[in-house]
Amino acid sequence: MATQDSQPADGLMAAPAASGKPAASDLGGTRHARAAARLMMAPAVILLLGWMLVPLTMTLYFSFKKYLPLRGGDLGWVGFDNYVRFVSSSAFWPSVQATLVIVGGVLAITVVLGVGLAILLNQPMWGQGIVRVLVIAPFFVMPTVSALVWKNMFMDPVNGLLAHLWKAFGAEPLVWLTQASTQSIILIVSWQWLPFATLILLTAIQSLDREQLEAAEMDGAPPHKRFAFITLPHLSRAITVVVLIQTIFLLSIFAEIFVTTQGAFGTKTLTYLIFQRVLESQNIGLGSAGGVYAIILANIVAIFLMRIVGKNLDA
């Protein structure tokens, strides 16, 4: 047992090191503390282990079966049939494409605008606190509300505000959710996630050394060079974190599609496709195989995020 481990423990349970007690009693206290610590951790660990293993095992189990609860129930083992069928169905590649376009589009918009907004909000101004509150607000709006409000009050081709705006400029109003369905979803989701990106980038930018920027300015570096060589490198880590966390959440967006297009007009993402296979067509085997693909995909992203978070834990 390394001393590096036992030292912080001494702080809580064992006698203070300064009192010069023999090592043996320290060790006893530590051992006692460790047993107590394990006990205190047990409920959280066991619950999460159960939450992870039980459904995961069931999904894996179903993914190798032909299982149609409404049409015959359990029809036996089929090997990798579901995995092959899920990938070879005509809906699969379009759903991968829709997922990539939506996730990529939202990421690009939120990161670029987020950097801009973070820089803007970091400038001296009047009423900074209020502006920040205004910018953050969309993050607290529940997904079903923002999807419905955008769908009806902004994107409606007759009464929507955007239709009024188009008409004011003499243009033919767009039928947003059919003509530009993917872009509409990207717009709605970006509006929801821009506050998150902005807030994190703003926090990161506030730790930037102002004197460094001022020194560069005095040396005659123009604004775009100061941005490219000082601000942006400083933000790179925060940008990575934003991209990874958002990717995990964006891969599983659901409500925004559920209440707007229901997956029609090319907005059927992988998540939505699996949802339809499982709950709408009640093809559990096929849906479970899709679920396994989704889990693998999310894990690939998660590994990168964990590396960054893990590194931070050591510091």
Partner 1 sequence: MARAITPQRKALNTALAWGVGLLIFFPILWTILTSFQTEAQAISDPPVFLFFDWTLENYAVVQERSDYGRFLWNSIIIAGGSTILGIIIAVPAAWSMAFVPSKRTKDILLWMLSTKMLPAVGVLYPIYLIFIRMGLLDTKIGLVIVLMLINLPIIVWMLYTYFKEIPGEILEAARMDGATLKEEVLYVLTPMAIPGIASTLLLNVILAWNEAFWTLNLTAAKAAPLTAFIASYSSPEGLFYAKLSAASTMAIGPILILGWFSQKQLVSGLTFGAVK
Sites for partner 1 among residues 182-211 (CB under 8 A): 191, 194-196, 199-200, 203-204, 210
Looking at beta carbons only, is 44 or 70 nearer to partner 1?
44
Q: Which of 100, 137, 215, 232 binds partner 1 (CB under 8 A)?
A: 137
Closest separation between CB of residue 175 and partner 1, Å? 16
Q: Which has the closest alpha carbon to 186: 157, 160, 150, 158? A: 150
CB nearer to partner 1: pick between 16 and 222: 16
- A 10 A CB-CB count for 279 gives 10
Q: Is 43 in the site for partner 1 (CB under 8 A)?
A: yes
Beta bridge partners of 68: 73
* Residue among 23, 27, 55, 87 that touches partner 1 (CB under 8 A): 55
Decide: is 138 part of the binding site for partner 1 (CB under 8 A).
yes
Centre a 10 Å sphere on the Cβ of residue 289 and count the other Cβ atoms it contains. 27
Structure tokens at 93: 């590649």
Query: Cβ(255)–Cβ(144) under 8 Å?
Result: yes
Instruction: Out of 22, 140, 169, 220, name the contact with partner 1 by CB under 8 A.
Output: 140
Residue range at the interface with partner 1 (CB under 8 A); choices 30-38, 87-95, 173-181, 220-228: 30-38
User: Which one-letter DSSP state was computed for residue 174?
Assistant: P
One residue of 3, 22, 24, 44 binding partner 1 per CB under 8 A: 44
Of residues 20 and 127, the one with the C-beta less far from partner 1: 127
Tell me which amino acid residue 156 is.
D
Pick from 111, 117, 189, 257: which binds partner 1 (CB under 8 A)?
117
Residue 27 or 52 having the CB closest to partner 1: 52
Q: Which residues from 260-289 bind partner 1, rule CB under 8 A? A: 271, 274-275, 278-279, 284, 287-288
Using CB under 8 A as the binding rule, whether residue 70 contacts partner 1 is answered as no
Structure tokens at 183: 């872009």
Among 115, 238, 243, 257, binds partner 1 (CB under 8 A): 238
Among 89-97, 138-146, 178-186, 220-228, the segment contacting partner 1 (CB under 8 A): 138-146
Whether the CB-CB separation of 174 and 157 falls below 8 Å is answered with: yes
**d(Cα 303, Cα 295) in Å, to the nearest integer?**
12
Containing H/E element for 93? helix 92-121
| Phi, then psi, of 281 in degrees rounded to 5 | -95, 0
Q: Is residue 48 within the footprint of partner 1 (CB under 8 A)?
A: yes
SS (H, E, C) 145-156: HHHHHHHHHHCC
Residue span binding partner 1 (CB under 8 A) among the ranges 35-43, 71-79, 101-109, 178-186: 35-43
Shortest reach from residue 78's CB to partner 1, in Å: 16
258 binding partner 1? (CB under 8 A): yes
Q: Least distance from C-beta 56 to partner 1, angstroms?
A: 7
Number of residues that bind partner 1 (CB under 8 A): 111
